[in-house]
Amino acid sequence: MLNKLQNVFSIPELKKRIIFTGAMLIVYRLGGHIPTPGVDGAALKAYFAQNQGTLFGLYDMFVGGAFERATVFALGIMPYISASIIIQLFGAVIPYFERLQKEGEEGRKKITQLTRYGTVFLAAIQSFGIAIFLQNLNAQGSTPVVPNTGVGFILLTVLTLTAGTIFIMWLGEQITDRGIGNGISLLITIGIIAMYPNDILNTLRAWTAGQFNILELIILGLVLLGVTVLVVLMVLGVRKIPVQYAKRVVGRKMYGGQSTHIPLRVNTAGVMPIIFAQSIIAFPGTLAALFPGNDIMAAIQTWFSPGAAPYVIIYGAMIVFFTYFYTAIILNPVDLADNMRKYGGFIPGIRPGKKTAEYIDLVLTRITLPGSIFLAFIAILPDIMIAKFGVPFYFGGTGLLIVVGVMLDTMSQIESHLHMRHYDGFMKSGKMRSGNTR
């Protein structure tokens, strides 16, 4: 392993990219501790401790605890992710965006620019909502979260949080262009990993406090290890559809004739179905938390609390639905079939065109079912362990899936640099497939 690490730093370009990526991630983490002016961080943290199962807790996970501390990076990169998803959805329903997606490099540049504008717009709206939300918290506790409320605080918060999101977006783009890995995904991942030490300490404190014995602690570790292995297998799992390209003569040269395959991933949708489902399922609990003392809201909060039967059933069904929904958006069998026919490709035994699209759609539908069930399983497992067995399972399935996928993707890029310069990679086969978080 030491030889492998020496190989990584033996390539000047790769070494420079890794050091640059590390420096940018350090800047991101430092910014996550600069407080927003006019907010009492201690009072806000006390509020979050009582509302961990709401949308606020979900949002805080993706920004590495910056939302809970009300730092200048409180919005994180989520406005950019939201804008990217919206633009991607527009590409499936609006002809203009569909044309942009098919225009190659120029279309991608235009989509990137529109995504940036959308990020600024969403960040401004969300920061305005956060400013109003923070001011309203003053009436719910003895210690005011915002000592000095008013228009000045709102404008300062909007400016600060929006600027923080734009800076994070720039950091992500710099990592993608000059570093290693996908910058946006790495920023989300480093925020999730930053919360792991505290989760480990909480687990050890619960053990020393006698909440569970050493045997249960060992079982917890084995469950975590098993879930991690399953996540790796699911992220790397593909169904290969063989494709044959016909020979064609252009001038004096012959092209085609080779055999290849279409790798359809078991988890094509990535972690997005969990994010969609978790955002919706957490909304009733978030709404109930904003209206304390109401009997109806209290009942809703009980039904939709993590671990409750209605929560588990609805949450799992929504993940399965969104897995199929998002897979249909990002992977179009008709486009795949048309591209194959355009370049003289065909699936052995399947007629080109409509029959090929139907076959790909059938295969994709079948392999998506186990992928969707697995996503529902790892998303619900922590809630079940906490509610039914009293085990403080602090490591959520959503964060674990993101971390594993991004780490595999980054390792794959490092492998590519090593093998391109005839160095031994970390994997013996050198054929590690990359994951995807989007």
Tokens of 379: 């998303």
Q: Are residues 13 and 94 in the same domain?
A: yes
Instruction: Name the domain boundary from 160, 194, 228.
Output: 194
Q: What percent of the chain has pLDDT over 70?
A: 78
Q: Are residues 34 and 167 in the same domain?
A: yes
Q: Are residues 183 and 312 in the same domain?
A: no
| Separation between Cα atoms, residue 138 and residue 154, nearest integer Å | 14
Tell me the average pLDDT of the chain.
77
Residue-number span of the structural domain to which 323 is assigned: 198-395
Q: Which of 20-29, 104-113, 256-265 has the highest mean pLDDT?
A: 20-29
Helix (H, G, I), strand (E, B) or coil at 110: helix
Query: 319: pLDDT confidence band, cut at 50, 70 and 90?
Result: confident
| Separation between Cα atoms, residue 365 and residue 372, nearest integer Å | 10
Buried b (16+ CB within 10 A) or exposed e, 319-357: bbebbbebbbbebebeebbeebeeeebbbeebebeeebb
CATH of the domain at 75: 1.10.3370.10
Q: Are residues 17 and 101 in the same domain?
A: yes
| Separation between Cα atoms, residue 223 and residue 384, nearest integer Å | 13
Q: What is the pTM of this model?
A: 0.74
Q: Which of 66-80, 110-124, 338-352 has the highest mean pLDDT?
A: 110-124
Evaluate if residue 218 carries a pLDDT over 60: yes
Taking CA atoms, 174 is separated from 22, 45, 379, in Å, by: 12, 32, 32
Number of domains observed in the structure of the chain: 2
Residue 428 belongs to some domain of the structure = no
- pLDDT, residue 162, reads 92
Q: What is the pLDDT of residues 275-287, one digit of tens each?
A: 777 767 766 766 6
Q: Are residues 6 and 131 in the same domain?
A: yes
Please answer whether residues 381 and 228 qualify as being in contact, where contact means their C-beta atoms are separated by less than 8 angstroms. Answer: no
Query: 438: pLDDT confidence band, cut at 50, 70 and 90?
Result: very low
Residue 429 belongs to some domain of the structure = no
Taking CA atoms, 379 is separated from 272, 273, 406, 438, in Å, by: 12, 10, 18, 17
Alpha helices in 304-396 (DSSP H): 309-330, 333-342, 354-389
- pLDDT, residue 23, reads 92
Tokens of 119: 């990020």
Residue 246 sits at the vertex; the CA angle it makes with 241 and 247, to the nearest 5 degrees, is: 145
Closest alpha carbon to 117 in 168, 159, 79, 77 = 79
Q: What is the pLDDT of residues 381-401, one digit of tens each?
A: 777 776 665 655 556 667 777
